[in-house]
Amino acid sequence: MSRRRTLGPKKKLVLWVSAAAMAGGGAFALAATSNAAPVGQSESSAVCDGLATALGNNEKFIEGQRANPDAQSEARIANREAVIAEIKRKQEASGCTVGESGSAEGSSADPAAQQPSPAAADSGAESGADSGTAGGEQVCAGSTVTLSGEAGAPAASSNQFPAGTKLKVTNLDNDKSTTVEVTSVSGSCALLNDAAFEQVREPGKFLIRNARIEKVG
């Protein structure tokens, strides 16, 4: 005759606590994983947005050169096509959609997009000492700033200011500023080359959404 073994009350209690602990640990791990995912997705989205904007700016510049060519247009277009190829390589390496582009400029149909918030204006006024250059006339209110992908010493390009103009660009999200000279034409108010953008960027980001642009010379 077979005999079934039964567990005493103490053993039942130990097994129940162990099972609950394991279940709780699994739930905690799942919660941690689900909470961490949006952070990574947000960072990836910021990188892709910045690269898309840089690509869009360069494409816009090429379109302008083709619509109104001059003696130097062919060389400028060739240079920007090389920049676009580099941006696409960065998109692929970052897991972004290769070839996706956007515009850095605020929409003129949205007056709010053209005006910085009061907090942003105050922050910009306080950050003037960062680059050792006094604040100047604020221009291109509402514009975001990204990189052109061009190498060389810190410089900027612009569709509003001629070569030789000095612009101070402040990243209001980290209070970093750089003052650079406009050396070429682009498709936006202020487009920083790689060296200048490195001076004011936030780690891992290719777009400054909250920027203050001043004409200082």
Residue 88 lies in a domain: yes
pLDDT score recorded for residue 41: 64
Query: What per-residue confidence (pLDDT) applies to 202?
Result: 92
Q: Tell me, yes or no, whether 1 lies in a domain.
A: no
Q: Which two tokens stand for residue 129?
A: 């000492």
CATH code assigned at 141: 2.40.40.10
Inside any domain, residue 26: no
124 assigned to some structural domain = yes
Q: What does the block give as tokens for 61?
A: 């510049």
* pTM for this prediction: 0.54
Q: Does a structural domain hold residue 3? A: no
Is 191 a domain residue?
yes
Task: List, for the chain, all residue ranges whose pLDDT scores fall below the cut of 70.
Answer: 1-43, 103-135
Cβ(156)–Cβ(181) under 8 Å? yes
Smallest CA-to-CA distance from 176 within 212, 122, 141 is with 212
pLDDT tens track for 84-97: 888 888 889 889 99
In this prediction, residue 7 carries a pLDDT of 53
Burial class (CB in 10 A: 0-12, 13-18, 19+), 97: exposed
Secondary structure (H, E, C), 118-165 = HHHHHHHHHHHHHHCCCCCEEECCCCCEEECCCCCCCCEEECCCCCCC
In a domain, 143, yes or no: yes
Domain of 203? 55-215
Structural domain tally of the chain? 1
Is residue 142 domain-resident? yes
